[in-house]
Chains A and B, each alone.
Chain A
Amino acid sequence: MTTTALQTWLRTRAESDRHAAFEAIVSAWGAAIRRTCRGFERAEARQDELVQEVLMNIWRALPGLVSPESARSWVLRIAHNTALKHVRHHAPRRRMESEVDVESVVHGLQEVVVDRARKRARLHAAIQQLPPADRSLVLLWLEGLDHHELADVSGLSPTNVRTRLSRLRARLTRALGGTP
């Protein structure tokens, strides 16, 4: 459905098709956008603000989209660049913002999902402690991008991506209480 909507938009460039293409993109990668924003921003209000900023940038950049095949990395590139700009823009004004509170995240959940939620909250907290550029790399990897795509989106060399990622994965695994 996403590919069809994007192909139609790329062919016609009609305003109505642009809206359909936009909706198709958000349907397909909305969850990834939401997770990316959650990875960069702690406070829910800021996450929502960032999601909207990312969506506005996607809408503006749509005329420059070349092919439906490259849409996923294109969307994630926009999301990450927007998020990096966003966190650095707000960084000087929120040194005192609290860290992710794992217990408040799992509070009220059923026992069966508590363990999973607790682990996810720990992963989230560990990601939040990374410098923005490392955070971006980890989040892209967590969205399932391979080394080639990671190099393309980040602008780093594939070797550099592999080295950094290995170090970062070990750090995250340790944060979750496992052995790298």
Chain B
Amino acid sequence: MTDPLIDLWTDEEEAPLTETIDLSAIAQRAEEFEVVLDRRNRREIWIGGALAVFFSVVAVWSMLDGMAAFGLGGALLATGCAFVARQMHTRGRAPKSDPTQSTRDFLASHRAELQYQIDLLDSVAVWYLAPLAPGLLVFSLGPMALRLLEGRADVGVAVATALPILVVFGLTFGAVLWLNKQAVKGLRAELAALDSGGEDVAGG
């Protein structure tokens, strides 16, 4: 005899899913989602690589033309872009939880996935912003600093030139950090929800 609760739960009549949902569209969306994600990741890596090449050319051209500060800044930026592109390539592949696993294993791998994303976003200042900062500063402020050292520029003019550039950099970097902190906050809340409700499947 079936349990009355099971009867109660399963005897409700409703339209079959095959009639209410377009399964071809679902399959297409599932495929497209993967393609779009993959394409976005590749695009970011390619942009980083292209910028590295561009600044390498700028560095060589500037050195040959006797513009040492531009040359050094270009070389630092090229190195920074190449480093960031490499980091995106290696760190961008977060471990994925497989929904065909048992719930216990799935939640454990989902937890690892969330923790990985948190660590990645939390350390964005180290692997994304820090490698670009020296190149950006030398490239934009180097020529003026050099003129100042050589006594060919007035201090007031140098400060007036440098200040807006530093403010723009500060705001841009600050915005990137703030956005990442917000994303981390959301992921931490998700992790907390997982931990608070997951202890009963985490045990045995």
Please report A residues at the B interface, Cβ cutoff 8 Å. 19, 22-23, 26-27, 30-31, 33-35, 51-52, 55-57, 59-61, 64, 74, 77-78, 80-82, 84-85, 88-89, 91-92, 116, 119-120, 123, 131-134, 136, 141-144, 152-157, 160, 164, 169, 172-173, 176
Contact = CB atoms under 8 A, between A and B. Distances in A.
Interface in B71-129: 97-107, 110
B27 A22 contact: yes
B110 to A, nearest CB: 6
B99 A156 contact: no
Contact of B10 (A78, A85, A142, A157): A142
Nearest to B198: A133
A77 B18 contact: no
Nearest to B26: A55
B162 interface: no
19 contacts: A19-B27, A22-B23, A26-B23, A27-B16, A31-B17, A35-B10, A51-B17, A56-B26, A56-B33, A78-B99, A80-B103, A81-B107, A85-B110, A120-B9, A133-B201, A154-B102, A155-B201, A156-B201, A157-B204
Which 5 residue pairs across A and B have the least CB separation, nearest first? A155-B104, A30-B17, A155-B102, A92-B189, A56-B30
B107 A142 contact: no
Contacts, number: 147
Contact of B103 (A27, A33, A35, A136): A136
B118 to A, nearest CB: 14
Interface residues of A, dominant DSSP:
helix
B197 interface: yes
Contacts of B11: 116
Contacts of A91: 189-190, 193, 197
Interface in B141-170: none
A26 B102 contact: no
A70 to B, nearest CB: 10
Contacts of B30: 55-57, 59-60
B200 interface: yes
Interface of B: 3, 5-6, 8-12, 14, 16-18, 21, 23-24, 26-27, 29-31, 33-34, 97-107, 110, 186, 189-190, 192-194, 197-198, 200-201, 203-204
Given A55-B26, A77-B100, A81-B99, A26 B8 contact: no
A80 B106 CA distance: 10
Contact of A142 (B5, B17, B103, B106): B5
A74 B100 contact: yes
Contact of B106 (A27, A81, A134, A172): A81
Contacts of B193: 88, 91-92
Nearest to A144: B6
Nearest to A151: B102
Contacts of A142: 5-6, 9-10
A19 B27 CA distance: 8
A26 B18 contact: yes
B6 A133 contact: no
Contacts of A56: 26, 29-30, 33
B189 A169 contact: no
A123 to B, nearest CB: 6
A78 B106 CA distance: 10
Contacts of A51: 17, 21
Nearest to B185: A92
A164 B107 CA distance: 19
B14 A153 contact: no
A27 B100 contact: no
Nearest to A65: B100
